[in-house]
Amino acid sequence: MNTTIPNLIDEVSDLLNIGVSEVFRTMLTLEAKPAAVLHDWHASGETLVAGSVGFIGDVNGVVYVHVTAGFARKLASRMLGLAEAELEGDEMVNDVIGELSNMIVGNVKSRLCDSGAPCVLTIPSIVRGQNFKIEPVHSCERRLLAFRCDADHIMVELLMKHST
């Protein structure tokens, strides 16, 4: 694995493209297609749910998987085999988004380890709200990846720490 910035963040971005497609196809039987344009999340005023998982080792970073709360409920319903009406509150939805994020980043981690860049994952966490954005510190580089799943949108945000 090439470990120089900016090539490394491009390589991890490519792995995320593969991971999102594979996880959505395998776990949800949905096709998540890369999109050329990012959806304007803040214009809709909708509540967003972002699952976050970090990776630490020879390669360091964090990935946020952003979806609308409505799409998060659809995903939870589909993954758990329940009607949306059966999902009480946000806890099950948050768990599913956290687990999907974990699977996507786990897919990347596995490929990084296979290529000679061992790392471990952090536990998933959830950010939920309106009009929030993740701001990286100056020592990080950021990539945004957009996907469409029928009419719904997915944004994957990758932050990677520059190696010292």
Residue ranges of domains in the chain = 7-161
**Tens digit of each residue's pLDDT (9 = 90 or more) over 48-67:** 999 999 999 998 999 999 99
Considering 35-39, 42-46, 123-127, 157-161, the range whose residues carry the highest mean pLDDT is 123-127
Picking from 50, 59, 61, 68, the residue whose alpha carbon sits closest to that of residue 1 is 59
Closest CA to 97 of 122, 76, 123: 76
pLDDT, one tens digit per residue, over 64-95 is 999 999 999 999 999 999 999 999 889 999 99
23-27, 58-62, 70-74, 158-162: least confidently modelled range: 158-162
The CATH superfamily label for domain 7-161 reads: CheC-like (3.40.1550.10)
Residue 109 has pLDDT above 70, yes or no: yes
Tell me the pTM. Answer: 0.91
| pLDDT reported for residue 80 | 95
117 neighbors 140 (Cβ within 8 angstroms): no
Query: Averaged over 114-133, what is the pLDDT?
Result: 93
* Nearest of 121, 115, 111, 6 to residue 52 by alpha carbon: 121
More confident residue, 159 or 38: 159
Q: DSSP label at 58?
A: S
Range of lowest pLDDT (50-54, 152-156, 159-163): 159-163
